Amino acid sequence: MPLKKTVNDSHSNWMDGAGPESDIAISSRVRVARNLADIPFPHLLNNAKAEDVIHAVRLAVEDKELARQAGVLEMSLLGELSPVERQILVDKHLISPDLINSFECKAVVLRDDEVISIMVNEEDHLRIQCLLSGLQLKEAWDLINQVDDGLEKTLDYAFSEQLGYLTACPTNVGTGMRASVMLHLPGLVLVKQLKGVLNAISKVGLTARGLFGEGTEALGDLFQISNQITLGQTEEEIISNLTAVVRQIISQEKATRAALYKDRRDFVEDRVYRAYGILKNAHILSSEEAMRLFSDLRLGIEMNLLSGIPAKLLNELMVRIRPAFLIKLAGREMSAHQRDVFRAELIRNEFKEFDC
C-alpha cells in the first residue's frame, strides 16, 4: 500500500531542492477543484452518496489509459490510517488539514512519487494537486491537465458554460484552480522589506500565507504566494502572472542577499553559524526554533557561506521534526517536552556527519 510507504518516509519529490530557482523557491503547487455533476457538494452529502463519489473516483483513477499517460494512481481511504499517519500526509503537504478533520468517507489518491495527489470529498469532490520542486508552475499545470483530462474521460464534471467548473465555495468557481509557490525569504524579512512586498502582491490579486496554508504563521521565513482569483482568467494567465510576480520577488530577495553579503557579511555569517552550532548541539528544540534555525542555515547554504549540508535534508527535516513524524519514529506518544528532546536528538544525529 503506497500510503504506508508515504507515511513512513519524510521524503517527498518536492523536497529534492532540484528545480529551477530552488535556492529561493522551495516548491510549486497547482491544484484544481472538480465536482461530479448531479451529486451534491461534499458538505451536503450523506455517507451513501459520499461512498458513491469515492467509488466513481476509484474507477476513474484505476483506468489503464490514465495510468499509462499520467502514472499509476492508488486510492486509500483515510480511515485506514492512524491519526498520526493522517497528520503526516498534511505535514508533507500532500493533503489539506481540512481533509482530516473528519475522515469518514474521505479518500486520498497518490502517485508513487507523491507529485500527484487527489483529495476525495474534501471541500469539493475532487481536489487534484501537483507538487514539484522549485519554480515549476507551468510544469505542474501540465501534469494536472494530463490527469484531469484522463479523469474526465470517466467522470462527469459539474461544469457551466458561463461560469466554468462549479465548486462548493464560490471563490473557487471558474478555473477551480489555485497555484502557489513556497518561497524562502529570509533576506527580505531581515531587512524588514517583506511587508512592503506582501502589500504590493495583494494589489495584483495574489496572497501570501504561512507554511501550512491559510491562517498559519510564516514559520522559518517561508511564504506561500498564491492567486486569489479563479474567475475571469484562464489557467494559463493565472500561471504566467503568478510566475512573473514570483520571479520579481525572487530577484528582490537575491538583491537583498547580495547587499547583505556586501555590507553585513559578519552579521549574516554569525547568524548562520550560530544556527549550525545550535542545531548540531542543542538538547531541547521546539519546532518553531528549529524552523527558525533551518531558515538561517538555508540562507547560509544559499549564500555559499557554508557548504556540505544539502537543502534536500532541510526540506525533509521540516516534515520529520513535526510532532506527527516524531511520534511515528518513536513509536509512542510523547509530551511536548519529550518531543523537544527527541527532536533535538534527531537533528544532532543528522548533523553529526557535517563539519562546517
Stretch that binds a second copy, among 60-68, 124-132, 196-204, 282-290 (CB under 8 A): 282-290
**Per-residue mark of binding to a second copy, 247-276 (x: CB under 8 A):** -------------------xx-xx--xx-x
The footprint of a second copy on residues 324-343 (CB under 8 A) is 337, 341
Nearer to a second copy, 196 or 277 (CB): 277
Residues 6 or more apart whose CB falls under 8 angstroms from that of 302 comprise 23, 24, 184, 257, 311
Contact call for residues 155 and 36 (beta carbons, < 8 A): yes
**Minimum separation from the CB atom of position 348 to a second copy (A):** 9
User: What HEC string does 67-97 produce?
Assistant: HHHHCCEEEEEHHHCCHHHHHHHHHCCCCCH
Nearer to a second copy, 30 or 305 (CB): 305
Nearer to a second copy, 8 or 281 (CB): 281
Count the alpha carbons within 13 Å of 217 in the hemisphere toward its beta carbon.
6
Number of residues that bind a second copy (CB under 8 A): 18
Nearer to a second copy, 55 or 337 (CB): 337
- Helix, coil or strand: residue 219: helix
DSSP 30-57: EEEEE-BTTS--GGG--HHHHHHHHHHH
**Minimum separation from the CB atom of position 190 to a second copy (A):** 15
- Dihedrals φ, ψ of 281, to 5°? -130, -20
Neighbours of 4 (CB within 10 A): 12
Q: Does 283 contact a second copy by CB under 8 A?
A: yes
**Minimum separation from the CB atom of position 284 to a second copy (A):** 4
d(Cα 327, Cα 179) in Å, to the nearest integer? 32
What's the grid cell of residue 77? 481511504
Q: Does 307 contact a second copy by CB under 8 A?
A: no
Stretch that binds a second copy, among 87-95, 97-105, 211-219, 279-287 (CB under 8 A): 279-287
Q: Does 77 contact a second copy by CB under 8 A?
A: no
Q: Does 278 contact a second copy by CB under 8 A?
A: yes
Residues flagged as binding site for ATP: 27-31, 93, 127, 178-182, 209-214
What's the grid cell of residue 287? 519546532
d(Cα 14, Cα 99) in Å, to the nearest integer? 21
Contact call for residues 307 and 356 (beta carbons, < 8 A): yes
Candidates 181, 344, 346, 347: give the one binding a second copy (CB under 8 A): 344
Contact call for residues 91 and 325 (beta carbons, < 8 A): yes
Candidates 79, 281, 310, 333: give the one binding a second copy (CB under 8 A): 281
Nearer to a second copy, 66 or 306 (CB): 306
Q: Does 282 contact a second copy by CB under 8 A?
A: yes
- Dihedrals φ, ψ of 110, to 5°? -130, 140
Candidates 254, 280, 292, 312: give the one binding a second copy (CB under 8 A): 280
Nearer to a second copy, 46 or 281 (CB): 281
Strand (E) or helix (H) holding 243 = helix 235-263
Which residues sit at the interface with a second copy, rule CB under 8 A? 266-267, 269-270, 273-274, 276-284, 337, 341, 344
